[in-house]
Structure 1
Amino acid sequence: MTDRLRGTGLLLRFALRRDRVLVPVWVLLLTATVVASAAATGPLYATAGERVAAAEALNASPAIVALYGPILDTTSLGELSMTKMTVLYAVFVAFMSVVVVRRHTRVEEETGRAELVGATAVGADAPVAAALLEAALASLLVGTLAAVGNIACGLPAMGSVLFGASWAGIGHVGAGIAVLSAQLSSSARTVGFIASAVVGVLYVLRAIGDTSASWLSWLTPFGWGTQLSAWSEPRAWLLVGYPVLALVLTAAGLALRRRRDLGAGVLPDRPGPARGAPRLGDALALVWRQQRTGLAGWTVGIGAIGIAMGSIVPGIGDLLDTDRTRPIIEAMGGVGGLQDSLVFALASVVAVVITCFGIGAVTRAAGDEHDGRTETVLATATSRAAVLVAVASAALLGSTWLLLVSGAATAVGRGDGVGAVGAALVQAPAVWVVLAVALLLLSVRSRWAVAGWAVLAACVTLGQVGAGLELPDWVLGLSPFHHVPKYPAEAFAWTPELLMTALTALVLGVAWTRYRSRDIG
């Protein structure tokens, strides 16, 4: 056993160095959302009666319960503050572990680096052990910071600790799901799809259980966070379920790993056609073929999120009907104005998520360059400009399509088309600016493309934390999302949209010039 784990510490140090941007950004963003929610909820509902009314309004909406889970104790400030964090944001904690484990297991095998590492004095199980340890450390860190943040914002200490422990637990479960999924296919993209599907099924089971068959909520770890009842009469014994499930999934994954060849998957690969289709004869068609499956999955996911969020909007008036908020609602134009503001706010959040698709397309192009596939394409009658245009089209047009899907789906959920679609599409220029910067980083040096995630994180942090810290307007203005017109809550403004579009064109022009002149690889 010791021989099989030889070199784990060295590989863990190497993995932490490689993820020195990815993991801290993910952890800080999750912590910031917890702190922001904890800090904002208390002043919004000053009395116990207002908190009870808000909680009952949340529980009365099946759409909200399906999305966030129920509030078991309607008098609890902690449970009301963390209602979104307990279930919905726990999904992001699980995905953090999925990304880390997949990156250091199946991606390494697919690129051939795992075989090179295995040829050294490294144990057979050391790579997967290092990946699991990194995911475990990241999960413990985000859980600890979430607990500390809640306590700092005045929430009960015991409930904060139990809440943080549930987040750490769901992170461990995500790592187990990723290890098991990584054994099933030789393709890293397929592994990501399988792991995402498992997380999605567990989340849907929880949603069905919370809205109808309650026993289903006990069968999924996303239901345990609610059933834990961390903030009043806690069931601390439920925390044992997370490590037990994680160990079962990990053990199953390791057992399958020892029964397959390195680089292969348990499921047989489907042989492709002997000859490529004529339509794949240029870089544009090739890039879009690579993105086809991912874009289809994103379309379904964004559509489902849009419908769920749109169905929440009509009940927002009852949720915020308190003595403190009533004058604010009237100043915004009544319940209708409040609903329009919520539509814009939801569109802003979804726009950030959609930007992740575009950055993923850019970093995939960087990976193709690292692994030599881009050089192979350029060895044909394909120009560098054609390659960059293909990548840019996938990132920009794919993200724009997802924004349109988001707006249309929100309109279906709300029952109002123009406002929801417009609220989604006004986000497009801001998304384009972030993606243009990511493409510029790619054009300067392929390894810099991953810094696109840091750019997005900085923009989100300015939006989430900047206003609360009362930062100067010029600092907040560094984020393109700060300049998006708040349509339909406010009148549409052409000037910021045109300026951001022009900035996008300028940055893309610089990226195109640089990419044509630098060395590939």
Structure 2
Amino acid sequence: MTSGTLAGTTLLVRHSWRRDRVLASLWGLALVAVAYASAAATSSLYPTVRDQVAAAEAINASPAIVALYGPILDVTSLGELAMTKMTVLYSVFVAALFVVLLRRHTRVEEESGRAELLGGTAIGRDAPLASAVVESSAIAVAIGLPTAAVNVAGGLPLAGSLAFGAGWIGIGLVAIGIGAVASQVSASARTCGAAAAGAIGAAYLLRAVGDTSVHWLSWATPFGWSTQLRAYSDPRWWVLALYAVLAVALLTGAQALRSRRDLGSGLVAARPGPADAAPGLTDALALALRVHTPTIAVWSAATAVLGAVLGAIVPNVGDLLDSEAAREVVARLGGDGAVERALIAAELSIVAIAVSCFGIAVIAHGGADEQAGRTELVLATGTSRARSFGATLLVALTGATWLLAVSGAAVALGYGIVGGDVGDTFGEILPAALAQAPAAWVVVALAALAFSVRASWTVAGWGAVALFVTLGQVGELLGLPAVVLGLSPYTHTPSMPVEAFAVVPEMVLTAIAAALLGVSWMRYRTRDLG
């Protein structure tokens, strides 16, 4: 790597930030807001040291909770208790952002042909990868430092907050390295995303095994380092060097791989498909299903595992809530009723947000196909615009509904197995999961509306999710008026199984989704492609 091969890096960094400023800002704000909400709310949930220790010990006593969130190494630390979810689980969301950014500015650019056009100018060969790394690293710092600041504002110690924020920066740098390597190995953006997601998932699973049984395995994954950092008890500052060493190793490897392949290719060549397509693929819907079937399968497996873990946590919730204040807050999440049912309702609302992301991803893929010119090829056949657009919408909406059903069944199974009563849980929890569908449809419809205006505007769907999550997490904490909190469709679905099914809000949300889809349909049929 020389100054000549890095020519134009600064210009590309500026261009990349211009493209990422909305996505990165919304994603970062949502993460920072959730961190602040957790820091500020925990002291009121567990007002005494006794309450805090009891909750921490209950978390450590549940293998399912430890597998999901990681252990609390110092049960007397308010900061560790407050950042239980943030330390490991939300680190995955941090990592996901930087995988998206690296893939966007490397493999996607090569697949679309734009990297080749840049290569014909004064831009150096190594500049695209270098600029993606520089920009993403700056964004990691821009998320980690505010996170440390809001944790201090939420009442947590300064030193621990700095260590925690640095840990998020470290996770971001490692994810940047993972994305950089995946973009060199893979021959397509889809394969690149799958490879990076698989690496992150494997690291998370390895950490779960280490935290629950083979403890030394926790040191073999950066998600385990997040816990071993001990940010809010006795910070091990040297652990931060592990992130840096791994990130440097990954980026060095990515650069070495970059020098050994041709532009547009991957070290693992893409397998050619059959010479003749199956007769069924002449239909737009069949093609859309064929394209998204692997994604649906992966999401189904992931939501099933997550649902089972969440369901297994529920029977142990009573041990976590020795504080009366904590019981009241959790009960309010799902209305009046048993704490266990309230927690199920809260879990299903979180699952609904995750499932909405699947629908947005399908819509975003349609936008990427249009920008890359693949939609034009489809429309050059006997397929109409309306049929092509409708196929994308149908896969997004039915796929999201299917995933809610899978999640509900998995939560019921996990809850029933641990609680000792599998038979009666499905009839109660599965409808509760499906009751979240109209809210997910509204979010997917918003993404479709943005897509119908311009193919590149699908990022607005992610912005909507970030806004609604932020309102749900910190809206009440900030004292926002009810009309603002009501902007999130997730606040209007019935909190089943605590509350009874409510027809009116479900019908209103469905009507809003239908109206948005109708406007999207009409707009897409009349606008220019691209």
- The bucket for the TM-score relative to the shorter chain is over 0.9
Q: Which residue, 480, 484, 498 being the options, matches 1:489? A: 498
Partner of 2:421: none
The answer to whether the Cα contact below 8 Å between 1:221 and 1:242 also exists between their aligned partners in 2 is yes
Report if the CA contact (8 A) 1:147-1:164 is conserved.
yes
Match of 1:108? Answer: 109
CA-to-aligned-CA distance 1:416-474 (integer Å, 9 cap, x gap): 22332122111100110111121122122222222121122222222222222222222
Q: Map of 1:122-271 to 2, 5 A cutoff?
A: 122-271=123-272
**Equivalent residue in structure 2 for 1:518, among 509, 522, 527:** 527
Aligned 1:359-508 pairs, distance under 5 A: 359-415=360-416, 416-508=425-517
CA contact (8 A) 2:448 2:517 kept: yes
Tell me, in whole angstroms, the C-alpha distance in 1 between the residues paired with 2:332 and 2:240.
45
Q: Summarize the Cα distance change of 1:219–1:328 in structure 2 as closer, same or farther, 3 Å threshold.
A: closer
Letter in 2 for 1:393: L
Letter of the 1:114 counterpart: A
Letter aligned with residue 428 of structure 2:
G
Q: What secondary structure, in the 3-state scheme, does the structure 1 residue paired with 2:5 have?
A: helix
- The CA distance in 2 between the partners of 1:333 and 1:191, in whole Å, is 39
What is the letter of the counterpart of residue 233 of structure 1?
A: D
CA contact (8 A) 2:38 2:82 kept: yes
> Alpha carbons of 1:192 and 1:393: their partners in 2 closer, same or farther (altered >3 Å)?
same
* 1:112-140 CA-partner distances (Å, limit 9, x unpaired): 11111111101111000111111111111
Equivalent AA in structure 1 for residue 435 of structure 2: V
Maintained 8 Å contact 2:330/2:343: no
Q: Separation in 1 of the partners of 2:256 and 2:30? A: 35
Residues 160 and 333 (structure 1 numbering): CA distance in 2 closer, same or farther, change over 3 Å? Answer: closer
Check the 8 A contact 1:156/1:231 in 2, yes or no: yes
Secondary structure at 2:325's aligned position in 1? coil
CA distance in 2: counterparts of 1:164 and 1:420, whole angstroms: 37
What is the aligned partner in structure 2 of residue 22 from structure 1?
Answer: 23
- Alignment of 1:291 with 2:292, yes or no, is yes
Gap regions ≥5 residues in structure 2: 417-424
Is the contact made by 1:423 and 1:487 (CA closer than 8 Å) also made in structure 2?
Answer: yes
Report the Cα distance in structure 2 between the residues aligned to 1:437 and 1:333, rounded to whole angstroms.
26
Amino acid at match of 1:204: L
Which has the higher mean CA deviation after the structures are superposed, 409-418 or 460-469? 460-469
Q: Deviations over 1:133-169 (max 9, x none)?
A: 1111111111111100100011000000001000100
For residue 401 of structure 1, what is the amino acid of its counterpart?
Answer: W
Deviations 1:367-395 (A, max 9, x none): 11112211221121111110111010011
Q: Is the 8 A contact 2:147 2:165 kept in 1?
A: yes
1:335 shift after superposition: 11
The AA in structure 2 aligned to 1:155 is L
CA distance in 1, matches of 2:111, 2:291: 16
Q: Which letter does structure 2 place at the counterpart of 1:211?
A: T
In the other structure, the counterpart of 1:350 is 351
Instruction: Determine the C-alpha separation between the residues in 2 that align with 1:46 and 1:126.
Output: 53
**Residues 485-511 of structure 1, C-alpha deviation per residue, up to 9 Å, x if partnerless?**
111111111110011111211221121
SS in 2 for 1:56: helix
Residue identity opposite 2:392 in structure 1: V
Quick one: distance in 1 between partners of 2:443 and 2:26? Answer: 16
Q: What corresponds to 1:76 in structure 2?
A: 77
Structure 2 residue 9 is the aligned partner of structure 1 residue 8: yes
Deviation at 1:331, TM superposition (A): 9.5
Whole-Å separation in 2 of the counterparts to 1:143 and 1:30: 10
* Counterpart Cα distance in 1 of 2:117 and 2:154: 49
Structure 2 letter corresponding to 1:449: T
Matched-pair contact (CA < 8 Å) for 1:329–1:337: no
SS, match of residue 276 in structure 1? coil
Deviation for aligned residue 1:91: 0.8
Q: Please, what is the CA RMSD of the aligned residues?
A: 1.7
The equivalent of 2:282 in structure 1 is 281
Give how far 1:329 is off.
7.8
Contact (CA 8 Å) 2:345, 2:496: kept in 1 or not?
yes
For residues 330 and 528 of structure 2, the distance between their equivalents in structure 1, rounded to whole angstroms, comes to 57
Secondary structure of 1:496's aligned partner: helix
Aligned to 2:420: none
CA distance in 1, matches of 2:305, 2:166: 29
Which amino acid in the other structure matches residue 459 of structure 2?
V
For structure 1, list consecutive stretches of 5 or more residues without a partner in the other structure.
Answer: none
Check conservation: 2:160, 2:233, Cα contact below 8 A. Answer: yes
Shift of 1:323: 4.2
Q: Determine if contact 1:396/1:432 at 8 Å carries over to the other structure.
A: yes
CA contact (8 A) 1:55 1:80 kept: yes
For the Cα contact (< 8 Å) 2:332–2:342, is it kept in 1? no
Q: Which amino acid aligns with 2:506?
A: E
Bigger mean CA offset, 323-332 vs 456-465: 323-332
The share of aligned pairs that are identical, in percent, is: 55
- How far apart are the structure 2 equivalents of 1:230 and 1:441? 41
Residues 54/334 of structure 1: CA separation in 2 closer, same or farther (3 Å cut): farther
Aligned equivalent of 2:419: none
Contact 1:176 1:250 in 2 (8 A): yes
- Aligned AA for 2:225? W
| Code of the aligned partner of 1:94 | A
TM-score, with structure 1 as normaliser: 0.97
CA contact (8 A) 2:334 2:345 kept: no
Counterpart contact for 2:438–2:506, Cα < 8 Å: yes
In 2 relative to 1, CA 473–335 (structure 1 residues): closer, same or farther, beyond 3 Å? closer
Deviation at 1:333, TM superposition (A): 11
Distance 1:184 1:50, change over 3 A: same
Between stretches 110-119 and 330-339, larger displacement belongs to 330-339
Q: Which residue matches 1:94?
A: 95
The amino acid of 1:434's aligned partner reads V
How far apart, in 1, do the equivalents of 2:157 and 2:326 lie?
25
Asked if the contact 2:30–2:467 (Cα under 8 Å) also holds between the matched residues in 1, the reply is no
Q: Which residue identity does 2:290 align to in structure 1?
A: R
1:35 aligns with 2:31: no
**Residue in structure 2 matched with residue 306 of structure 1 by the alignment:** 307
SS in structure 2 at match of 1:4: coil
> Displacement, 1:479?
1.5
Q: TM-score, normalised by structure 2?
A: 0.96
